[in-house]
Chains A and B, each alone.
Chain A
Amino acid sequence: MTALPLPSPRKLGLVIDLDTCVGCHACAVACKEWNEQGAFGPLPDQDPYGAEPLGVWFNRVHTYEVAAGNPLPPPTPARAIAPAASAAAAAPAQGMTVHFPRSCLHCEDAACVTVCPTGASYKRASDGIVLVDEDKCIGCKLCAWACPYGAREYSEVRGVMQKCTLCVDRIYNESLDPADRQPACVLACPTRARHFGDLGDPGSEVSRLVAAREGYAPLPELGYRPVNRYLPPRPRRDGAAAADPAAERFDASRLPPLLRWADRLLSR
């Protein structure tokens, strides 16, 4: 059924830290690798070793340059939480590079689900994961049109739509070690920039992280109400301050005696 289920208290999702992500693409590769042999069938590429390979990835890592300059006011000034509010206010003095992994945010108001004519797209009532039943999908691509976050990619090879499954075949997989029951991207991240958990539970580790760092989801104006959150980059240390001329000033009289003697010797 493509009608959305009643909101469940459990909202599994990812929290992605844009401050620590180094843009290494390990998450994207780990995702491709796991899901190539996952429960939802393979992720085949068209012309994989040829001139124009084309294939489905559930996760794409963008890299942006944020120029110094007129920052806009933060989108939700009312929800002020001390450290992040200052993060929001601080425009980078010299600009910064931000790596931005982009995948399904498992939206609560997922229009990608309601537009689906076949019932192939659905949102799970139990944990909010948005999935495609690839045995029902007719490949009309309307759901990809409806997704503002570019989370759905169509497989030319299989003729169906594919998307992030939040590794539903890992997180409940009892044949895996409990520590491994997490999405492949989360386990692969070398800087631990990715966190998985229940964002519906305000006491969960991920929820506390979101509260402390003022996590956000982009495009609130479109009303999709994503579950995933991004943690904004922390204010960068100002490069100009590091080159403080005051630190260069040298007062020989404050050196210990041995060095003072050496200084006198060398200054001759």
Chain B
Amino acid sequence: MHPALSVVVFTTLSGAGLGVLFLAALLQSLAPLPLSRELAVAPVAVGAALLVAGLGSAFFHLGRPGRAWRAFSQWRTSWLSREAVAATATLGAGAAMAACMWIAPGGTGATTAAIILAGCSVATVYATACIYTSLRTIPAWHNAWVAPTFLLAAGLSGAAVFWLLLSFAFWRPGRAEGLVFALAAVGFALAKVGYWRHIDRHGAKLDTGAVTGLARFGSVRPAEAPHTEANFLLREMGFVLARRHARRLRPCAVVLCGVAPAVGGLLAFAGLGGTAVAATATLSLLAGLLVERWLFFAQARHVVVAYYR
């Protein structure tokens, strides 16, 4: 599939934003940090800003952005519509929680909004993942690895951004936080490796013989193309990354979003989780997630390609 930059950026940024919102909501409902209300609200604002930036970049990916409001209507069947509804609900709950934290810190209003926000942010990431997993036409997406890796990526990048923000307020992660972060990074890298092994084995089973139904007559090979110029299908779905490029990019992704953040987490465990470490871990993680998300598209083969080659 063609890795449209706007979609790659959208899913990565909005995932990080949703992760930040989820963690802010979790902290607010379980154990609010002893912070001034400005500092407490800051992560909510940053999370919402990341989410809005992501939504904006998806918005400009549309052919007719002016009609985007219609995308709220078909939540009964469409995961894309559910994602739009959930993302909007998340923004609403985030605004409500921030308002309560500002007006009445420690009140039940903030806690209630936080619980709703936590639910909505998880639902949004899950809906995004389901847009991909629901497509039977793309085996690299239609499998059980995708939703957990999306959720894990959102949580991990959200935690990194959250850590970076709080480090500006001289907050330092404790041993437990550092360890959990390091383990999550390793877990995410392992999940990606598992995913890649899965798609290498079950990537593209349907060949030209299968999609034409002519396999029973012998081996089928395209002899003449249906059109001499490109078309939408070849531009959108015809992008298949060369294997050797993938072989180089996968280790990059593992180092950037697995190894480096895990080292950062261990440093935090050792009491060295300052701003420099947080910033390095966050930037490395976000860069790695962009590579990983780019590969997620570039390596996914749509079955329609088999009509052509």
B11–chain A nearest beta-carbon distance, Å: 14
Which A residues are CB-close (under 8 A) to B229? 52-54
Which B residues are CB-close (under 8 A) to A141? 63, 236
A92 at the interface (CB under 8 A from B): yes
A44 at the interface (CB under 8 A from B): no
How many chain B residues touch A (Cβ–Cβ < 8 Å)?
59
In the complex, the answer to whether A223 meets B73 with C-beta atoms within 8 Å is no
In the complex, the answer to whether A118 meets B73 with C-beta atoms within 8 Å is yes
What are the interface flags for A163-204 relative to B under an 8 Å C-beta threshold, 1 for contact and 0 otherwise?
A: 000000000000000000000000000000000000000000
Known: A88-B216, A142-B131. A117 touches B137 (CB 8 A): no
A159–chain B nearest beta-carbon distance, Å: 3
Size band of the interface chain A makes with B = 35 or more
- What number of A-B contacts does a CB cutoff of 8 Å give? 215
* Interface SS of A by simple majority: loop
B230–chain A nearest beta-carbon distance, Å: 6
In the complex, the answer to whether A145 meets B78 with C-beta atoms within 8 Å is no
**Bound-complex Cα distance A156 to B230 (A):** 13
**Bound-complex Cα distance A150 to B227 (A):** 14
What are the interface flags for B25-69 relative to A under an 8 Å C-beta threshold, 1 for contact and 0 otherwise?
A: 000000000000000000000000000000000000111110110
In the complex, the answer to whether A218 meets B74 with C-beta atoms within 8 Å is no
Subset of 29 A-B contacts with CB under 8 Å: A1-B76, A55-B231, A60-B226, A62-B224, A63-B226, A65-B223, A66-B221, A70-B218, A75-B216, A95-B218, A98-B214, A115-B77, A117-B71, A137-B63, A137-B67, A138-B65, A141-B236, A145-B135, A147-B137, A148-B137, A150-B307, A153-B232, A154-B232, A159-B63, A218-B210, A219-B303, A222-B136, A222-B303, A223-B136
Residues of chain B touching chain A, judged by Cβ–Cβ distance below 8 Å, are 1, 61-65, 67-68, 70-74, 76-81, 84, 131, 134-138, 206, 208-227, 229-233, 236-237, 302-304, 307-308
